[in-house]
Amino acid sequence: MRLILLSALTCAATGALAQGQLNIYNWGNYTSPELIEKFEAETGIDVTITDYDSNDTALAKVEAGGHGFDIVVPTHSVLPVWIEKGLLQKPGIPQMENYGNIAERWRTIEWDPGREWSVPWLWGTTGVAVNTAVYDGDINTSAIWLDPPEALAGKVNVVPEMEDVINLALLYVGSKPCTSDREKLRAARDVLAAAKPHWMSMDYGMTEKLGNGDVPASVNWNGSTFRARAQNSDVAYGYPKEGYVVWMDNAALLADARNVEEAKAFLNFIMDPENAAMISSFARYANGIEGSEQYLPEDMRTAPEIVVPEELRDAGVFSLACPDEINEFYTAIWTELQK
Amino acid sequence: MTDRAAPTPAERSGARSGWLLSAPALLLLAIGATGPLLVIVVYAFLEKGSYSGVQWAFSTEAWFQVLFERDIFDDTVTLADAHLTILWRSVKLSLATTALAFLLGLPTAWFIATRPPECRAVWLFLVTIPFWTNLLIRTFAIMEVIRNGGILNSALMGLGLIETPIQILYTDAAVLIGMVYVYLPLMVLPLYAAVERFDMRLLEAAHDLYASRWQALRRVVLPVIRPGIVAGSILVFVPSLGAYVTPRLLGGGKNMMIGNFIELQFGQGRNWPLGAALSLILLLVVLCALVLLTRLTQREAEE
């Protein structure tokens, strides 16, 4: 007992001696513990991680103030909102030592031109996951959930992410995300309404439910599907040819961060290929750092969930958060769908 | 009305210290209950902010949106039937939960109240055990029991009673099972308190007067324990109405309850004023239900 007490005291003492603190506010189950251990060992900075479950939660909490966080990891679609609301500050990323490691594709981007505000964390796609033991037809289509084949009728799950779901439906009817074309919006709504009777649920947690066979097909994220396949080799990921959603989460420095220098050190740290690979191998999504492939485990380098097939690459669509007036259409469609 | 004698100084000081002693609790209630409520009332009359929050400008738009919807395609204004459908679904579910909890709770309460006094504490203790665990964890536990590859279906299949799993998870039945399970103790405890005070001699008298078991229950037992029934029903109905986690997880989220709908407005819907207005509507429904129930008991008491 005395020993435990003593070691607890020593712990507290080293904590107090550490150079600084860093508070990271990130998506749940998304930050590699090895990465944090390595960062702490190298810099002596004490890292605290707090989880959030949606961009809206993160935005509301940070906007309310008094949060004490230094780094946040918003999705690309809402990053411009964070910037516009003055919640972020420029950490001087282009001047950082590891800036050159950001892959060309992820440096010239619409939502943060020149990477002034944010550093790539992970990127992925929203497509469909199918248990091929239940259905072995073509899975590279949104028809899996918008016009389900016989074998999947009544068994499909749709993740309740309003923007992703309506964007996919708009792409399916030949339009694009955030369109203001009411005819297309109506077509998307009709397709969704007609498909809903064939759905079993609108729920999260598909990594487990695809893995244990409870759900044979779902709108899902690629990394989650990858993890599900580790439990059940019949699970496969499809990239809808009508269009699928591509997204990237980005680490950014909060305007009211208290530990600015520590945060900058961390942002530079995660642009190192070896460290970026640690983030990827934990969360099972690709990162945007050149040269990190060589540090990835073999199964990730070749995973069909990570490597987009050449012929389907162009079907991937980046979308920013829709303007408020379009979001009203989205909410109306969503309410109609779930009423 | 009887004339009361003027309070003696001792009585007055007793009353004063009574107020003083309850002041911390009253203050906590005032700040904790009234404060957030005021924020909600204010927000319901503001304009929505861009992407989140509110703009400090007076507006009744949110209330318009509660009742009416402007068709997004041709701008015609109609009664918001989606909102009514969602609200009605919540009310229906809460009523069903309350009824089922009562049907299960009364025999349980009766059973406990008729045990020897020294055993009752043990039974009551057993009833409160579910409160030891977080609601979310208990809901996940139910999921584990009723899901297709879960305990119930595997057991039934193992026994050869069914060939393919019964789809219980993600159905209305699953939501009802979950809600009744969660709120049952809240029905049992007040019922027990009422049944325990019930004078069993009344039952004997009823039987002596040739009342059947059903008549005795309906004409003697139920009227006497009515306060317990009302208290239990309120305790079950009110939280059921705003239930969020259970319908979301067990119902599969295909159909929204009012709680989920309010959450949508504060989250992906980016319409805080509407969310606030809907919360007040929910409050109003609860208030109506409470008034109705209290009226019911009062009338019975007067009769």
Count other Cβ atoms within 10 Å, centred on residue A198.
16
Alpha carbon distance B248, B143 (integer Å)? 12
- In Å, how far from its chain's centre is CA A151? 30
Per residue in A50-61, pLDDT (tens digit) is 999 889 889 989
Contacts A339 to B, Cβ<8 Å: 81-83, 85-86, 255-256
**How is residue A158 written in tokens?**
């749709």
pLDDT band at B301 (very low <50, low <70, confident <90, very high): low
Residue B10 pLDDT level (bands cut at 50, 70, 90):
low
Distance of CA B268 to the CA centre of its chain: 26
Q: Do A185 and B72 touch (CB under 8 A)?
A: yes
Contact (Cβ atoms closer than 8 angstroms) between residue B254 and residue B170? yes
Return the SS3 of A75: strand
**Amino acid symbol at A146:** L
Cβ of residue B57 closer than 8 Å to a chain A Cβ: no
User: A188 falls in which pLDDT band (50, 70, 90)?
Assistant: very high
pLDDT 10s digits, B169-202? 888 899 999 999 999 999 999 999 999 999 999 9
- The pLDDT of residue B6 is above 90: no
B142: left (phi over 0), alpha (psi -120 to 50) or beta: alpha
Q: Note whether A334 contacts B264, CB cutoff 8 Å.
A: yes
Which of chain A's residues have a Cβ under 8 Å away from the Cβ of B83? 335, 339
pLDDT of residue B268: 86
Residues B187 and B236 sit within 8 Å (Cβ to Cβ): yes
Choose which CATH entry (3.10.105.10, 3.40.190.10, 3.30.70.580, 3.40.50.720) describes domain A2-122+249-301.
Answer: 3.40.190.10
Contact A89, A257 (CB under 8 A): yes
pLDDT value of residue A17: 40
Per the CB < 8 A criterion, the answer to whether A178 and A97 are in contact is no
The whole-number average pLDDT for the span A312-339 is 90
Cα(A326)–Cα(A185) distance, integer angstroms: 10
Size of interface A-B (CB pairs under 8 A): 97
* Out of A101-110, A231-240, B100-109, least confident range: A101-110
User: CA-CA distance, B268 to B256, in Å (whole number)?
Assistant: 14
- B178 class by beta-carbon count within 10 Å (0-12 exposed, 13-18 middle, 19+ buried): buried
Q: What is the pLDDT of residues B18-59, one digit of tens each?
A: 888 999 999 998 888 888 999 999 999 999 888 778 888 898
Query: Which of B85, B148, B261 is opposite residue A214, by nearest beta carbon?
Result: B148
B77: tokens are 């204004």
Return the closest-CA partner of residue A300 out of A194, A201, A219, A227: A227
Do B154 and B235 contact (CB within 8 A), yes or no? no
Asked if the model's pLDDT at residue A264 lies above 90, the reply is: yes
For the segment A119-171, what is each residue's pLDDT rounded down to a tens digit?
Answer: 999 999 999 999 999 999 999 999 999 999 999 999 999 999 999 999 999 99
Among A108, A111, A117, smallest CA distance to A90 is for A117
pLDDT at site B73: 67
User: Residue A152 in contact with residue A135, Cβ under 8 Å?
Assistant: yes
Confidence category of residue B303, pLDDT binned at 50, 70, 90: low
Q: Is the pLDDT of residue A6 over 50?
A: no
In terms of DSSP H, where are the helices of chain A? 2-17, 33-43, 55-64, 79-84, 143-146, 162-172, 182-195, 206-211, 222-231, 260-269, 273-283, 298-301, 324-338
Kindly state the helix (H) or strand (E) to which residue A316 belongs, with its residue range: strand A316-318
Read off the amino acid at residue B63: W
Average pLDDT value for residue range A199-224: 92
Residues 6+ apart with CB under 8 A from B100: B176, B180
pTM value?
0.83
- Please write the tens of the pLDDT for every residue from B104-135: 999 999 999 999 988 999 999 999 898 888 98
SS3 content of chain A, % helix, strand, coil (to 5): 45, 20, 35
Percent of chain A with pLDDT over 90: 79
The residue among A32 and B267 whose pLDDT is bigger is A32
B47 Cα to chain A: minimum distance (Å): 13
Binding-site residues on chain A for chain B (CB distance < 8 A): 54, 56-57, 59-60, 63, 78, 81, 85, 157, 160-163, 182, 185-186, 196, 199-203, 212-214, 321, 324, 327-329, 331-336, 338-339
State the pLDDT at residue B254. Answer: 85
Mean pLDDT over A86-90 rounds to 95
Question: How is chain A split into domains, by residue range?
Answer: 2-122+249-301, 124-246+308-338
The torsion angles phi and psi of A183, rounded to 5 degrees, stand at -60, -40
Q: Which two tokens stand for residue A144?
A: 């899996």
What is the mean predicted confidence (pLDDT) over B214-218?
Answer: 91
Split at pLDDT 50, 70, 90, the class of A308 is very high
Q: Is the pLDDT of residue A2 over 60?
A: no
Judge: B252–A202 Cβ closer than 8 Å, yes or no: yes
- pLDDT at position B1 over 50: no
Q: Is the pLDDT of residue A90 over 90?
A: yes
Strand partners, A289: A102
Are the Cβ atoms of B268 and A56 closer than 8 angstroms? yes
Decide: A61 and A84 in contact? Cβ < 8 Å: no
pLDDT of B258 over the 80 cut: yes
pLDDT band per the 50, 70, 90 thresholds, residue A222: very high
For residue B220, the cross-strand partners are none
Q: Which residue has the tokens 């999921």?
A: B143
Q: Which amino acid is at B203?
A: L
Assigned fold of A124-246+308-338: D-Maltodextrin-Binding Protein; domain 2 (3.40.190)
| pLDDT(B276) > 50 | yes
Please check the confidence at residue B4 and state whether its pLDDT lies above 60: no
Fold match between A2-122+249-301 and A124-246+308-338? yes
Q: Which residues of A168-195 are buried (b: 16+ CB within 10 A; e: fewer)?
A: bbbbbbebebbbeeeebbbbbbebbeeb
- Taking the C-alpha atoms of residue B152 and residue B145, their distance in angstroms, rounded to an integer, is 6
Chain A residue at shortest CA distance from B68: A332
pLDDT beyond 90 at A41: yes
Torsions phi, psi for B159 (to 5 deg): -80, -5
- Interface contact A57-B267, CB threshold 8 A: yes
Rounded mean pLDDT, A253-257: 96
Measured CA to CA, the distance from residue A49 to residue A25 in angstroms comes to: 6
Percent of chain A with pLDDT over 70: 94
